[in-house]
Structure 1
Amino acid sequence: MEFRRHFTTKEWLILQASPIWVGFLVAAADGHADPKEIDENLRQTIRAATFSTGFTKEVFEDHVYMHLNDDDALSAVVETLDPLEGLKAVSILLGKIPASEAENFKDTLRNMAFKIALVSDGIDKNEEAAIKLIDLILDGQFNLPFYY
């Protein structure tokens, strides 16, 4: 609970929603969410909760806990915010923690995006564009024009 205290309840839920938004953006980039991609998103989320450290571990552990306990608060945040807007909020919120922790979290999300895209017959141009968009947003460059 070291990092959670730096955020409001809603902010913490937004951070927890980030793997869902990353998974959605990549899986939907080619027009349909392949079950393999959905499974990989879950696998990567559990992996991050298990093997990460610091802030990343704390966020992902809480994310998994919320799912296991059917907590509606996380679902409400996911459904309220558009994935792009949600990731923009995540990018801003990461400014509240040390840069090294923020970079580790962003790297985990980037790795998730890549692994999700890779699992379904390789990475197509739309998934590649989605991954680039996720990178831009996480790096705080969300006012730049980006085209699929």
Structure 2
Amino acid sequence: MAGVFLLGKARCEFSARNAISEASTLFSAAKYFLQADDKYTSMNCINYEDNLNCAIFCLLRSARIYELNELFTLATNVYIYLSDSLMRRCKFHQAICYLKHSIEIISKDILLSLELYKRLSYCQWYLRKFPQLFEFLYRRS
């Protein structure tokens, strides 16, 4: 329920043209939606992943706002948080595209790029996409 209220707050921030605060509020809302999704999973309830989808929407909107305001480090951190959340839920195929996008954004930071490449290769390894993994590693060397 807290996530829904934070969505309302984010809408107010949008109306007030306070983009950075809107992005921060959307990130907080996403954390609450992910907590709700975890709670459903831990209670072995039927989970239609509505909370997960809301969290993904909030995180993507937050990252987009940061990108539009040229706060690329914050945008990358949001994408990393989203990727980690998806990887924890064994949704590696979804995490791959967000990891690739974050690598594009932060390509000048060598250490962070290497960490993201490691996560991306883990996703591809888990999905048994060996040809793509080897091609990916060959192109980067």
Give yes or no for TM over 0.5: no
TM-score (norm 2): 0.34
Q: Which has the higher contact order (CA 8 A, sep 6+)?
A: 1
TM-score (norm 1): 0.33
Higher helix proportion, which one? 2
